[in-house]
Structure 1
Amino acid sequence: MGFPGTWMTESESVIYRVVPKCACSTIGQIMYYSDHGRFFEGDIHDSTSGLHKWAQEHSQPLIEQRAKARDTYAFTCVRNPYTRILSSFFDKICGIQRNGKRYRGNLVPLLVQKYGIEVGGVDGKQEFDQIKSFRRFLLFARDTIRWRKPMDPDIHWSAMSGHVSTFITNGGRYDKIVLTEQFDDGMQAVLNAIETPHQVDLKAIPRFNESEGHGPKRAHPVGEYFDDLSMHLVWEIYKRDFQLFKYDFENPGNKMPIGEIDLDEVHAKLGD
């Protein structure tokens, strides 16, 4: 299986396991800048050089060697499951993607037809009942994860622990798990622990939110999207994420963690 979703700087200063919807565009650009002293022009997910990625065949032996040797600093980044699934809905389901089309072609028409979801019209800009549609999307997300119907789960809403675990089960070990909600502190700890060809001043780094502007703006506070039933669905999908990454399940309106991540616990429970 190897190390899917894993990126490494060309200088081999640091390894990063991508978790979708968790600041991955910004992290990729920071890694690129730390090697080259400039940012990648465009979406870092589209780069085919300047950064080692598991999806690039020539990068695979290098990533595998460094990950298994565990002598290169390795990290990942996680996010509150409530805000992550909401972000996926507005970006991937309601939004028009950067290619000018809907995400995954026939996915949105399927959701409209089978789950009665509204997405703000053809361009995603019309008014619609966001709470009602989001809760129906949550039902769909649960169906994909629990029963792989009507399709396999998508990387943007499958559990973070699933992404994080592949690096561990194939022989890697994390030195740090950064929280999106405390991004500057976490990323600074990563940068302090590694040597890079170019210095990175985090305060001067723009946020590369590639999904911003794709979809409609969230019209309500996060907590209002989750009633008792939708919280139950979120627990069914993301129980392990809440437990391992110490987020507050009881209060969807609290995006901050309520404890410290225990790296040993993460490795023990995801290394099965």
Structure 2
Amino acid sequence: MGFPGTWMTESESVIYRVVPKCACSTIGQIMFYSDHGRFFDGDIHDSTSGLHKWAQETSQPLIERSVKGQKTFAFTCVRNPYTRILSSFFDKICGIQRNGKRYRGNLVPLLVQKYGIEVGGEDGKQAFDQIQSFRRFLLFARDSIRWRKPMEPDIHWSAMSGHVSTFIANGGRYDRVVFTEKFNEGMKGVLDGIKTPHKVDLKKIPRFNESEGHGPKREHPVEDYFDDLSMHLMWEIYKRDFQLFRYDFDNPANKMPLGEVDLDEVHAKLGD
């Protein structure tokens, strides 16, 4: 199994377990900058050098040694499940991707056909009922996660606790869980705990939102997308995320966490 989705600076100052849709582009660029004094030119997900990634074979033994040694500061980043899945919908389902095509080829036509989802036409720019389409997408997300039909769950809407757990189950331990909603505060805690070749001034770091502009803008407040049935589906899929990462299930309008993450609880419950 190893450590999928794990990145580490070349200086081995810090290890990060990527959780999709949780500021991963910005975090990757901060890590790259902390080693090289410059940002990666392009989407950090496309980098093949300058940052160790589990997906790069030559990085694997180095990452494995550091993670299992538990001497390198390790962290991950989470986000409110309501805003995370909305972001996934507008970016991955409604949006045209960087390659000029729809995400995962036949995924969107399948959703249009099987679930009656609208995505704003061929170019994603036409008006459509965002709330109705999102709720139908949520049904699909539940089906793919619960029953792996009509396809395997996608990393962008599978539960955060699932991503976070693989790191623990294979011998890693987190020193910090950062909230996307309190990003600067959380990343300051990470940077204060490590020594980097180049100093990082968080106030000057731009936000690298690589998915921005892919899809239509959200037209309504977060809470308008979630009726009673939608919230029931959210609990079915993301119960563990709400509980472990202290997000407010009862009020979709409140994106902020209700308290700090208990790291011991996270390790105990996700280390099975």
Q: TM-score range by the shorter chain?
A: over 0.9
TM (norm. structure 1) is: 1.00
Give the letter for the 2:107 counterpart. L
Measure, in 2, the Cα distance between the counterparts of 1:259 and 1:65.
33
| Alpha-carbon distance in 2 for matches of 1:256, 1:70 | 30
- The residue aligned with 2:159 is 159
User: For 1:94 and 1:32, how far apart are their aligned partners in 2?
Assistant: 30
After superposition, give the CA deviation of every residue in 1:159-216 in whole Å (9 maximum; x if it has no partner): 0000000000000000000000000000011001100000000010000000000000
Distance 1:25 1:259 in 2: 25
The DSSP-based 3-state class of the residue aligned with 1:173 is: coil
Q: 1:105-254 counterparts in 2 under 5 A?
A: 105-254=105-254
* SS at structure 1 position matched to 2:156: coil
**Runs of 5+ consecutive residues of structure 1 not aligned to the other structure:** none
Q: Cα distance, 1:35 vs. partner?
A: 0.2
Counterpart amino acid of residue 14 in structure 2: V
Query: Partners in 2 of 1:29 and 1:244 — Cα distance?
Result: 27
Between the two proteins, the alignment pairs up a number of residues equal to: 272
SS at match of 1:38: coil
Q: What's the CA shift for 1:260?
A: 1.4
For structure 2, which runs of at least 5 residues remain unmatched after alignment?
A: none
Name the structure 1 match of 2:34. Answer: 34
Correspondence for 1:94: 94
Separation in 2, partners of 1:251, 1:32: 36
- Quote the Cα distance in structure 1 between the aligned partners of 2:210 and 2:124: 17
1:249: how far off? 0.2
- Cα offset, 1:259, TM superposition: 1.6
> Counterparts of 1:99 and 1:12 in 2: how far apart (Å)?
32
Give the aligned CA root-mean-square deviation in angstroms.
0.3
| Distance in 2 between residues matched to 1:85 and 1:236, nearest whole Å | 14
Aligned to 2:51: 51
Q: Does 1:259 align with 2:259?
A: yes
Q: 2: distance between equivalents of 1:260 and 1:44?
A: 29
Instruction: Give the 3-state SS of the residue equivalent to 2:41 in structure 1.
Output: coil
**What's the CA shift string for 1:36-85, capped at 9, x where partnerless?**
00000000000000000000000000000000000000000000000000
The residue identity in structure 2 corresponding to 1:36 is: H
* TM-score, scaled relative to structure 2: 1.00
Q: Distance in 2 between matches of 1:124 and 1:202?
A: 34
Q: SS at 1:265's partner residue?
A: helix
Runs of 4+ in 1 over 6 A off after TM superposition: none
| SS of structure 2 residue aligned to 1:85 | helix
